[in-house]
Chains A and B, each alone.
Chain A
Amino acid sequence: MKESRTNNIIVTLITTTNLLVAFIISGIVIWSLGEDPWFALKTMLYGAFGYEEGLGYTLYYTTNFIFTGLAFAVCFHCGLFNIGAEGQAYIGGMAVGLICLWFENWPLLLVFPLAVVVSIIFGGLWGAIPGYLKGRHGSHEVVTTIMFNFIASVVMVYLLSHVLRPPEKMSPESRVFAEKVWIPQMHEIFDWFGIIITQTPLNGTFFFALVCLFLVWRFIWYTRWGYELRTVGTSESAAIYAGINVSRNIVIAMTIGGGLSGFVGINEIMGSSHRIMLNFQEGIGFTGIAVSLIGRNHPLGILLASLLFGILYQGGAELSFEVQSIDRHMVVLIQGLVILFAGALENLFRPQIENIVKHFLPKINVTKLF
């Protein structure tokens, strides 16, 4: 118990240090552009939290990242590197949109569960095929999921420009579906309780994302299916020894991952744009990888990391709007630095931090001798 607590402290410190370093370097870059980094930071935080609209947008982005972060994490626990959330979100989202178009006269209470199910089926299928190819034929999931991202993209361009686009429209998108099946926006939900807040794209899907966080947490660590998944991901040979079907678990993990990615469509299409658009998922799937890695593939960490990226997205937009010499690309640079230090160079400061922690903590009871 003690040992795992120490470990938690170390991990938390490492992540914080990495983020700090990323921000300090970003600050240096901003300073070298002749701007005041302290002002930039304040602008970003103000943009993300300072007023209702900013906060709304931050949480709206957060919702997306929770879904794709979880999508990556579930697969990661099964030993898979799912970088196909982008395509899975695209296809799953399309299915959500189709349901809304077809059943727009049904009550939301029926359409929402239906949308969840088809998103799992379609997004899940988009993940399950690479999963099957991996489990059965050993094709590497990184290669196949990237390919499936491209396939999804081409399929969507075709569908949106040839099939779903109403004839009178010029842009490749579907028609707007009836208001009955829109997910209530946050200002409407607050309005039910008599609280007036500013209108933002933030909608009820945010709560659904929180539910997903909870369910994934229980699933991974408290059910026998989660146990099988983690065993396959941690030691395939032990899984075979235990009689756990490795390829089946790979397909299951990829299906769940695909399904979770598909929920991006619920937030984006059902909750915000109310029509199927081109590239509505752009970048969200890939950011999910960073979110999950920074959040150590744990739902709580994913929640915090999603929030961080929500802040970066929304605060970054504010920053490029406010400060002349900082444009959109600067924000991408900051995000890149965060991913570099907290994701790729994760263990850069580990030895030093471990030494410090072990120096200050009372003697740790480790029983293994060398």
Chain B
Amino acid sequence: MSEVAETHDATQSNSSAAIPRDLVIERLVCWYFVAALTYLFISLTGGLLMALQLVQWNPLQGIEYLSPGRWRMIHTNAIAYGFLANSFLGALHWAIPRLTLKPVLHRGLSYFIFVAWQVVVCATAIGIMMGHAQGVEWGETPTWIDPLALVGLALVAVNFMAPIVRTEGPLYVTLWYFVAAFVWTFLTYAMGNFVPEYFVPGTSAGAVGGLFIHDLVGLFVTPLGWGLMYYFVPILLQKPVWSHGLSLVGFWGLAFFYPLNGIHHFLLTPIPDFLEYGAIVSTIAVEFVVTTVIINFFGTIWGSGRAVVTNLPIRWFYTGMVLYFVTCAQCAMQVTHTFQKLIHFTDWVVGHAHLVMFGVFSMWLFGIMTYLFPRLLKQSWYSRSLCEWHYWLSLGGLLVMFIDLTLAGVFQGYYWASLQPWDVSVQGSQPFWVTRLFAGLAIIGGQLAFMFNLWMTWRLSKRAKAVA
């Protein structure tokens, strides 16, 4: 039917001989992905509500539990802890046992973590909706849920570390990233949610808050994302990673420089200048590291470039990588005080955040889902063209949104610096905000196409099972 499905079947028959049938809890991978997509829609609803509010078209004004201010926090938290965390957990449940050829510590624990994590994410959303958010950006999870989330993260680490520890010899690149990510995610979550709340106020709390915002992306999402790329890209292209040396540079460069970047989120604040410059220099260093990783992946695909056209998961992966490079190139410039003067506090930053969270990591996870759902359901996609719609609507919507918000940021920066009345900057932003609304609708349309496709594929798989 489609070329994607054929390659799936081919790789499956090649590799299935070596892999015991009960190694991966496939049902759980599926559950994680479905949970992730559910939260994705909750997040998209929050984003839509905020976009409508900005252009003064919000039809749900004045309802306390639907307040755009609260839903703005649900928007980001549902993406970080609902969509990204759940899809990562699903992908890890697939990748780690297959890579180590050993099962996770305990199947019962895996199911328990699944349920516990959904409780954590739902409680977070309800807590924020009730107005109990914590004042840490990306960490608005109400304070009473934080210890529970932390226990959950510890259990995740233990469950996945068991097969990794039992592996002998040097670890494959993917596992470097995963091992480090388990440690970093736990430490980052504890630091960001406890230190600025219970230990220090003011400027020190700001410095820790900056570290948290940055580490959540850099030490939780980024290493898991790259780890999965190092796993899935060679499998799909059926050849090894181009350079082992470059992957070493990439990992250790990230591990050293990334944690030093956090303060760049609060430049030109009362945080001492020498700390700000330290963060700026480390940020620029990270971009050099990122370049080596990108070179490595393009070296890997060199000679198999047609896969980008024919193989949808590979196309999602490499689109994400190109956008990752754009994000990082942008980062190296915007982190300087020269750019900060103009663009800090503006929609430029919002565009940057969407580029990295949706344009890179969500795209990679969509690629992984596009690849794995047919294998989990034992049924090729209902419609290849709906998969294409998912890709093109997501990419188109994202690119329009990114360019639009970046431009809006430049305009807002100059409006403010020119000391015109505040209203002028708001009115000047309206055309950009209207454009952003429609870009967002395109993204939502893409995800609806994906959900419909998944629903129909699931129905086909049921029918196939019934016949068999």
Do A and B actually bind? no
A interface with B by C-beta (< 8 Å): none
